[in-house]
Amino acid sequence: MSDLSDVIPRPRRTASGAGGFFELGPATEVVAGDGTERTARWLRAEVGAATGLPLAPGTGTGDAVTLSLDGALGPEGYRLDVEPTGVRLAGGDPAGLFWGAQTLRQLLGPDAFRRAPLPGRRWRLPAIRIEDAPRFGWRGLMLDVARHFMPKEGVLRYLDLMAAHKLNVLHFHLTDDQGWRIEIKRHPRLTEVGSWRSRTKFGHRASPLWEDKPHGGHYTQDDIREIVAYAAERHITVVPEIDVPGHSQAAIAAYPELGNTDVVDTGALSVWDTWGVSPNVLAPTDHTLRFYEGVFEEVLELFPSEFIHIGGDECPKEQWRRSATAQARIEELALADEDELQSWFIQHFDTWLAERGRRLIGWDEILEGGLAKGAAVSSWRGYAGGIAAARAGHDVVMCPEQQVYLDHRQHAGEDEPVPIGFVRTLEDVYRFEPVPAELTSHEAERVIGTQANVWTEVMENQQRVDYQTFPRLAAFAEVSWSTLPAPGERDFDAFERRMAAHYRRLDALGVAYRPPGGPLPWQRRPGVLGRPIDGPPPNK
């Protein structure tokens, strides 16, 4: 049994009960009201496995966990009542009920996160009432599987980890210069050629080290369907990202006609084996548009999400400046320059997606040359892009690089593996504020949520991803869910005390997080060049 104050993210309201506890045992039933079947199934599968208890369906005549829906609790809200006579869990909707079940599991103690029961454990819940609801509707984690491929089982595991932290959007970065990770049936070479590179830079792009073996992999369409269904069972939306018009060298290596063939021998290009921003970008031709419309048609069949992410970031314009084809298109469309050409490219897919009932979201570079009508913005280059987008009436997901890029190093110590970017400690992430003070209350309503981003250039396996992501994702989860004081007034000491219990949950889940005292010997990468940036990050 955990203390009620150990819950992460922190609930909105908690009150101790009249005393005592409720103990789950072999006779405890799960009474599932209408619309609660998904959470009942999850409780039997996950909590049932950890406790060894059947948690059988019941009618409520004996010891029971009773599940119900109560629309008055609001979207994703829940109320948990534990009394010595039983447990009542109500959700404002099925998602809220599920988040309440996550809290219930935390209250059972860290061993409730194991896959099989330990002998002699007793499963007690403290008498308590919790009323809770999230601050933001978009509480996201971006997972980059293009730079280093994460096998399907690893993605499913991360969906479970997200669910345990009440995160509800997986931004799935599926394509980049270094790999194409999703099967497109009408364009098979995207995975036959584009999903593998011959070698990989080890460390920052200035590092002299290489891993001289092929790296790659992709998800079949059935793999994607499984991932999306697994996420939906956990009330997580998967938002796919297909990057255009930059970050596209893997696609050009597979289909050279997609590139700027009048200025570069695109037939000689391979999937990129190093990091940074590739100069090889898509040609602004009708053929390219039709090709990617075909890609997106298959993507829409696989992903029911409202939003489709099209990237739009870091698109160098040099090839377009030298390309007669690109310049002719600028003249034909009466555009001012190459920035407006990129905006035209983005607007084409904004319209195309809107006609199919979807919404485009892209990185804040889509502001360059004019903001695409109806588009939402992932603000990554600080807050400025998100502020501009919100003031222009566009929805914003705040994910500034300087604050919540989890590939950035966690400490200034020399033992940190492949140190990238600014130091972002657990406390720094806990004091991150997604809504800039410059916005009016009306403008602030456009900030629909926030997201932590995990770019995997220097994360060659699941253990490295774990190390960079945790424990900071726990702090981020609280920022995105809980209504906290201003950053300087947040009680980090109290959060750190709650983390003492949370580390034990992560241990039970097998998460290779960064220990508070620094990396373990096997987590270090001595001699591998990073790119640390000294000083505090700019807060703008």
Contacts of 269 (CB under 8 A, 6+ apart): 249, 252, 253, 256, 259, 280
The 3-class SS string of 446-468 reads CEEEEEEEECCCCCCCHHHHHHH
Q: What are phi and psi of 162, to 5 degrees?
A: -60, -45
Q: Are 423 and 410 spatial neighbours (Cβ–Cβ below 8 Å)?
A: yes
From the CB of residue 500, how many other CB atoms can be counted at a distance below 10 Å?
10
CA trace torsion 90, 92, 95, 101 (10° rounding): -20
Looking from the CA of 438 toward its CB, the CA atoms found within 13 Å total 11
Q: Are 241 and 309 spatial neighbours (Cβ–Cβ below 8 Å)?
A: yes
Q: How far is CA 383 from the centre of its chain?
A: 19
What would the two tokens of residue 82 be?
A: 């534990």
In the sheet where 86-91 sits, what is the strand order? 13-24, 123-132, 78-83, 86-91, 64-69, 29-32, 56-57
Q: Are 246 and 154 spatial neighbours (Cβ–Cβ below 8 Å)?
A: no
CA distance 394 to 372: 10
Which residues are designated catalytic?
176, 247, 314
Q: Is 268 exposed, middle or buried (0-12, 13-18, 19+ CB in 10 A)?
A: exposed
What would the two tokens of residue 242 be?
A: 């297909």
Among 155, 179, 178, 158, which Cα is nearest to 167's? 158
Using the CB atoms, write b or e for 366-390: b if 16+ within 10 Å. bbbbbbbeebbbbbbbbbebbbbbb
CA distance 143 to 140: 10
Instruction: Assign 278 to helix, strand or coil.
Output: coil
